[in-house]
Amino acid sequence: MSATNNILTDTFGREHTYLRISLTERCNLRCTYCMPAEGIELSPKSHLMNFEEIYTIAKTFVDHGVTKIRLTGGEPLVRKDAPVILKKLASLPVELAITTNAVSVDRFIDTFKECGIKNINVSLDSLVSAKFKEVTRRDYFQRVYDNIMMLIEEGFNVKLNAVLMKGFNDNEIIDFINLTKTHRINIRFIEFMPFDGNKWDMDKTVSYKEIIKYVYKSFPQEKVLRIADAPNDTSKNYKIDGYQGSFAIISSVTNPFCDSCNRLRLTANGRMKNCLFSASESDLLTPLREGKNIEPIIQKAVQAKLKMRGGMDTLEKLKKPELHGKNRSMITIGG
């Protein structure tokens, strides 16, 4: 299939081979940067994709070149039919991965192995129990930490996603990196991003440059090794010489990776987002239920993808609440 007739190639020549599917808007945590304090209005169950619809839409994307699918939420493992969905998608010729908060991940170890899932991303924003409780509004730190260690012991490739917020957990950057000394784990520091209801402002964002400054204050510069990034990688990867694991920085705000973006998103209620920052969505579920061909809708959505951050191509635009406030809360997008 050539790029010229591939419905997943946009007007900038970016070929989209990576689909992130949100299984649910529900979560067993209430992270402050993800969900507004007052909560959100959840989609009625009848408006959400069932497992057959998830498979059918996913297969359409795979038929047109998607080679990787990541399942997200909310928290994907709170969905009762999560094992059924995992096994169904595992039958497709793709790399299947999952992002979880690890609260209940211990119950799914065998399912992950059966489905060939090797790469698991875990959201963990603090190594301090009290701060974990503050940011998640739940007291599950020890359970999550123990489950992360279990995943490592079971041989999974584990990445820890830590959203950095100035004055909250930026003083833990080195503590996170020190986890990689004796554990085969990848720590990913993510810049705090704007979404509906998360009270974002630029002053809370810990930038790529600031993170590197923290690192060079604690480690000799010659010991901080730059690792080659994978194609379409969203992160800039590093390793401390002699450490078992590695760390990375995802700089969506101050140094975006839009030029090489290869990802698309499918929300739990069957809407396609061509960019994490974009407020526009394309309904795939309704036409699917009506027996219509969803390929032209997918192609139109891909063709409408803007060059950078959903049109917010400068920090000045990103700072305008009237622009990023039109987007969903992070919990209903799916990461």
DSSP 8-state secondary structure symbol assigned to residue 137: S
Residue ranges covered by each domain of the chain: 3-333
3-class DSSP state for residue 243? coil
Chunk the chain into consecutive blocks of 10 residues (it has 335) and report each block's average pLDDT, rounded to whole numbers: 72 96 89 68 89 98 98 94 98 98 97 98 95 90 98 98 92 98 97 56 82 96 94 90 97 76 95 87 97 98 86 60 52 54
Cβ proximity of 164 and 57 under 8 Å: no
Half-sphere exposure for 236 (CA within 13 Å, toward CB) = 17
319: exposed, middle or buried (Cβ count in 10 Å: 0-12, 13-18, 19+): middle
Q: Which residues contact 2 (CB under 8 A, 6 or more apart)?
A: none
Distances (CA, A) of 171 to 60, 121, 276: 45, 22, 28
Cβ proximity of 288 and 294 under 8 Å: yes
Residue with tokens 């010229």: 4
Q: Write down the pLDDT at residue 195.
A: 47
Residue with tokens 């999560």: 82
Q: Write down the pLDDT at residue 319.
A: 59
Distance from C-alpha of 313 to C-alpha of 95, rounded to nearest angstrom: 31
Q: Write down the pLDDT at residue 258.
A: 83
Distance from C-alpha of 320 to C-alpha of 196, rounded to nearest angstrom: 12
Tokens of 217: 């204050």
CATH number 3.30.70.1140 is the correct assignment for the domain at 3-333: no
